Chain A
Amino acid sequence: DGGITQSPKYLFRKEGQNVTLSCEQNLNHDAMYWYRQDPGQGLRLIYYSQIVNDFQKGDIAEGYSVSREKKESFPLTVTSAQKNPTAFYLCASSLLAGGPNEQYFGPGTRLTVT
């Protein structure tokens, strides 16, 4: 089955620690995205990547980093510089970046930092 996987579903970390969220897709999509979801806020774009070895900042990139070494993988690192890291993180992919390419989402990772 083609799709997007994110692991783990729930992640707990202590404040001050970096943590990496996994996102893998087997849809052969060129573009991948990371969104953050907070209660009552909708989704906000953190980073996106149009092709391997290339990525761009979204609206709220501060305190986050990404890499795109393989087409199917786009891990997100939440660094200790991120002031409010507790949130629900969603990874998405699309055949190509931009319209009219629909974005398909993974199941998400709930990160809790205490």
Chain B
Amino acid sequence: AQTVTQSQPEMSVQEAETVTLSCTYDTSESDYYLFWYKQPPSRQMILVIRQEAYKQQNATENRFSVNFQKAAKSFSLKISDSQLGDAAMYFCAYLSSGGSNYKLTFGKGTLLTVNP
């Protein structure tokens, strides 16, 4: 079974600075998908970014980018020019590419605080 580990329960960053959230996962599969979701105080889960394991290029979405290291099974999220609205719980998630496993496996989350 796949597992996802977020080793930083809490992180903080100054507004306008950069922060990196860590995520590692364990799998025996070669093809899969990785996601970062954001959950602000409203508790709505919002997809931030996704990465296909077969792609070597790291995904980027505006101020959000990932560092995907397949061999190391690492998938960190970098937030540049942090804004107050980035304050939220961030979840890393794993999804199999096929077979009968349709479950998103989530890490326990990292609570990000943005200081003005």
Contact = CB atoms under 8 A, between A and B. Distances in A.
Interface string B96-110: 111101111011110
A100 B33 contact: yes
B52 interface: yes
A42 B96 contact: no
B42 A107 contact: yes
Contacts, number: 64
Contacts of A90: 45
A54 to B, nearest CB: 12
Interface residues on A, range: 20 to 34
Nearest to B42: A107
Interface in A17-50: 31, 33, 35, 40-45, 48, 50
Contacts of B106: 42-44
Contacts of A107: 42-44
A103 B33 contact: no
B102 A42 contact: no
Given A43-B104, A50-B102, A98 B44 contact: no
Contact of B103 (A48, A100, A106, A108): A48
B35 interface: yes
A105 interface: yes
B109 A42 contact: yes
B96 A99 contact: yes
A46 B14 CA distance: 38
A42 B35 CA distance: 14
A99 B47 contact: no
B103 to A, nearest CB: 5
B95 A98 contact: yes
Interface string B29-48: 00111010100001111110
Interface string B79-114: 000000000000100011111011110111100000
20 contacts: A40-B109, A42-B107, A42-B108, A44-B106, A45-B104, A90-B45, A92-B45, A92-B104, A98-B95, A98-B98, A99-B32, A99-B33, A99-B95, A99-B96, A99-B98, A100-B33, A100-B52, A104-B47, A105-B46, A107-B42
